[in-house]
Chain A
Amino acid sequence: MAVKSIGTYDFPSKSRQELYGDDQLVHVWFQGNPWFCAAACYRAPKAMLWSDFWSQMVVPWAEEDPDFDPAGAYAWTLHGKPLTPKDDVTLEDLGVEHKDVIGMRAVTA
């Protein structure tokens, strides 16, 4: 349903992608890890390689957890489906869109 208003009520989103230029907002949700109370939100270039995203953004955040293992195995999800990140592929090419939530879960042996 639409809002009821006096006159036209139509405003652009204050978080729309164009406000971030060539970048976009990306969330990383470390599932099964209660150390982090909520998913993280990053501003990352669409053209950022996964390896850079991992080493420059995710690891510095996640390693604040004393139990985090940057070399560990993680299962990834995007849009409700498994995601297989490749180091030399950009976020955009991996299918990551503005404000997407990337799921991350430690794989236990």
Chain B
Amino acid sequence: MTATTAAQRYVGVDIQESEQNRAVVEAIEETNPDCTVQHLPGLVRIKCLGRIVITRDSVEEKLGRDWETHEFQMAIVSYFGHIKDWDDDEIVIAWDH
């Protein structure tokens, strides 16, 4: 296996395509400007080199209401990478090594 660092490998998250989740997708795009967004049947795949961060502030801004990070569970279909952190303010998906 060729040695790569965590920053050189993609992580990603699949989000169910729906009216309610659009704001979440937009927020992720804005927080992670280098990500690529792909639309598949029924879902949106966002991937990014190294890490993806979902912040409470950015989602709340797009939604125009309060949003707690637990609510992300209503949107997520799958992911690849490692959920390194899931706290009040942000969710981080990244590889460790």
Asked if chains A and B are in direct contact (CB within 8 A), the reply is no
Binding site for B on A (CB under 8 A): none
